[in-house]
Every structure is written in C-alpha cells, then in structure tokens.
C-alpha cells in the first residue's frame, strides 16, 4: 500500500472512532479529529517534500561527472 493511501486509510479508520464516541461534540472525538487533521497534514507535507527532494537531487547529480 502506498504511503499516501495508508495515511488516508488510517484517517478513515479514525473517523469511525470519532463517530463512535459522539463526534466532535465530545473531548475524545475532538482528540481523534485532531489526529485525522495531523495525518492529512503529514500526507500533504510528504508529497510536497518528495517533489522538493526530486528537484534538489537533480541539482546535486547535475554536478556529477558522467559515468
């Protein structure tokens, strides 16, 4: 399973927990919702970081002699 799919799968599973504890009207539901938001943030950040790494890697290897 790809990392982004895994994060989304975890978020979906946690959402079931949010619903089971009464939604964001309850403290446990709010804490679980924050966990979902964090997973979304990490997934988005990883995607952006991957793009930036590919750019940086290209700059690095551009300076290497041809093999």
DSSP 63: T
- In terms of DSSP H, where are the helices of the chain? 3-20, 27-62
Residue 31 binned pLDDT confidence (cut-offs 50, 70, 90): very high
Residues with Cβ within 8 Å of 8's Cβ and at least 6 positions away in sequence, in order, are 43
Q: Distance of CA 7 to CAs 12, 14, 60, 63, Å?
A: 9, 11, 30, 36
The yes-or-no verdict on residue 1 having pLDDT over 90 is no
Tokens representing 31?
């804490």
* Global pTM value: 0.76
């Amino acid at each position: 399973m790809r990392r982004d799919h895994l994060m989304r799968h975890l978020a979906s599973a946690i959402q079931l927990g949010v619903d089971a504890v009464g939604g964001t009207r309850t403290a446990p539901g709010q804490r679980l919702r924050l966990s979902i938001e964090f997973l979304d943030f990490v997934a988005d950040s990883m995607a952006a970081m991957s793009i930036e790494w590919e750019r940086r890697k290209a700059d690095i290897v551009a300076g290497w002699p041809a093999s």
